[in-house]
């Protein structure tokens, strides 16, 4: 598990540790790690041109000391001093090893730029000259390495209020910061490199986390010798309509590929015909009216993809949500719930899978505000609605009251195409039916779905049926 912490949590841990170690030792450890990452990124340290963006705080000191180490190995290191003050010992070390002070034109010729403008305590938009330097760094051809967090990204939330440094690599000191995992901040962070400075024993319980492949492999149900189709999980799917037959096909496909022992699909004639043709494995009930009495017993439901929002759909939704088994609520069912929130008041577990627009209707917050602060609003919705929330988007987050938010890091922009959410609903529904909690089912489904998207795309456009087909390979890749 990759754990992440707010800026306040990290600063508190740093204060505890600094009280126990010699003054300045943490900065030296951080600078050594930073210099090592920079050296690995350069084809050759000797002769490389390195530009340091140096602010007034400790990040500026880290950058200067790292620059001194690179200069000692033959790099041409130039420091752009942007702050009202400069870490004097760090600057002295840089100058002693042959580095020099320069203006912002040093960025244009640099092979590598080190962003040490602001640290994890900075919030809100960058002020000048920092904002201009952040933009200038983005226009340069150099590799950009951020110290701890890209300047302009809120370390605690991932919010970006204005100009920000877009890094290729972020070297995070002591602990990963929450804002590095969550968009929009994650989109500015690039690859993450961790430098251990000894904070571990002083950190509290994690505020946020991201599952690794090994975590997901441990959580996913595996059949045993005694397994049969019922023990492997029976998931019921109520999805699709005369207008949206494909949603049913994709949700059923996602559930089957994710290992459900049986999928019971219920729908009207048009989607039934499509599901029967695509997935003969599914057990199908064709509905003449809004009555699910003949579907049979299930261990979890998937409700909503392509269902519609009329009276027929509403009656089906009410029956599913009145059941005593876990329910995943997606798409049109979320629209119904937004108009009638009492539908979500149930004692059995509930997992909702909205995008920002759907969550906006549920909690009455503009979608743009949700996109800008995804953690905050996923947490709020989980507490307010009493459900587990899987908020889809550029960063998928899973929130449940009194639990750390889980962030999924496996997606790809190629998944931004019609129908992929229906597949995700099917995958998560299958995991619910196999006995995972809403929290684990949502987290694992997002991870597997993201890996399947990457495998299906492989750098080129995909269609959603490619994602369905890639799910087994995604699960196999977990080990």
Binding residues for AMP: 392-396, 421
348 in helix, strand or coil? coil
For residue 455, what is the DSSP state? H
Residue 85 Cα to chain centre, angstroms:
36
Q: How far is Cα 70 from Cα 73, in angstroms, rounded to an integer?
A: 5
How many CA atoms lie within 13 Å of 399's alpha carbon, on the beta-carbon side?
A: 24
Strands 234-238 and 262-267: parallel
Binding positions for (6S)-NADPHX: 58-62, 119-125, 130, 148, 247, 306, 355, 422
24 in helix, strand or coil? coil
- Is 209 in contact with 3 (CB distance < 8 Å)? yes
Binding positions for K(+): 59, 115, 151
Give the DSSP per-residue string, 350-401. EEE---HHHHHHHHT--HHHHHHTHHHHHHHHHHHHTSEEEE-SSSEEEE-T
Binding positions: 58-62, 115, 119-125, 130, 148, 151, 247, 306, 355, 392-396, 421-422
Give the DSSP per-residue string, 38-84. HHHHSS-STT-EEEEEE-SSHHHHHHHHHHHHHHHTT-EEEEEE-SS
Q: How far is Cα 276 from Cα 78, in angstroms, rounded to an integer?
A: 67
- Counting Cβ atoms within 10 Å, is residue 461 exposed (0-12), middle (13-18) or buried (19+)? exposed
């Amino acid at each position: 598990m990759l754990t992440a912490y707010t800026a306040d949590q990290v600063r508190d841990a740093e204060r505890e540790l600094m009280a126990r170690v010699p003054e300045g030792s943490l900065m030296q450890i951080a600078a050594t790690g930073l210099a090592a990452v920079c050296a690995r990124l350069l084809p050759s340290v000797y002769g490389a041109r390195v530009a340091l963006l140096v602010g007034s705080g400790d990040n500026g000191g880290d950058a200067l000391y790292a620059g001194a180490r690179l200069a000692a190995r033959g790099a041409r290191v130039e420091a752009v001093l942007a702050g009202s003050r400069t870490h004097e010992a760090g600057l002295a070390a840089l100058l002693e090893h042959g580095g020099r002070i320069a203006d912002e034109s040093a960025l244009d010729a640099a092979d590598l730029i080190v962003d040490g403008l602001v640290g994890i305590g900075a919030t809100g938009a960058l002020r000048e000259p920092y904002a201009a330097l952040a933009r200038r760094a983005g226009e340069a051809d150099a590799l950009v390495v951020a110290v701890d967090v890209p300047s302009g990204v809120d370390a605690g939330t991932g919010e970006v209020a204005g100009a920000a440094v877009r890094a290729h690599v972020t070297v995070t000191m002591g602990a990963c910061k929450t804002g590095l995992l969550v968009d929009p901040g994650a989109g500015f962070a690039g690859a993450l490199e961790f430098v251990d400075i000894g904070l571990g024993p002083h950190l509290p319980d994690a505020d946020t986390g991201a599952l690794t492949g090994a975590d997901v492999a441990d959580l996913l149900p595996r059949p045993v010798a005694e397994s049969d189709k019922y023990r492997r999980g029976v998931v019921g799917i109520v999805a699709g309509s005369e207008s949206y037959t494909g949603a049913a096909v994709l949700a059923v496909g996602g559930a089957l590929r994710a290992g459900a022992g049986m999928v019971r699909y219920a729908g009207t004639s048009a989607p039934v015909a499509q599901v029967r043709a695509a997935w003969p494995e599914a057990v199908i009930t064709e509905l003449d009216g809004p009555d699910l009495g003949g579907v049979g017993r299930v261990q979890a439901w998937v409700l909503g993809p392509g269902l519609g929002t009329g009276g027929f759909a509403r009656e089906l939704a009410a029956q599913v949500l009145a059941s005593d088994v876990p329910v995943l609520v997606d798409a049109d069912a979320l629209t119904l719930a937004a108009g009638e929130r009492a539908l979500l008041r149930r004692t059995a577990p509930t997992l909702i899978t909205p995008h920002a627009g759907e969550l906006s209707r549920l909690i009455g917050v503009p979608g743009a505000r949700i996109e800008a602060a995804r953690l905050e609003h996923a947490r709020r919705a989980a507490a307010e609605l009493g459900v587990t929330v899987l908020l889809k988007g550029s960063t998928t987050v899973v929130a449940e009251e009194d639990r750390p938010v889980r962030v999924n890091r496996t997606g790809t922009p190629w998944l931004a195409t019609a129908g992929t959410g229906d597949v995700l609903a099917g995958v998560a529904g299958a995991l619910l039916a196999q006995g995972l909690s809403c929290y684990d089912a949502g987290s694992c489904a997002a991870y597997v779905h993201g890996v399947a998207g990457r495998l299906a795309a492989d750098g080129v456009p995909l269609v959603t049926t490619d994602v369905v087909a890639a799910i087994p390979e995604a699960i196999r890749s977990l080990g």
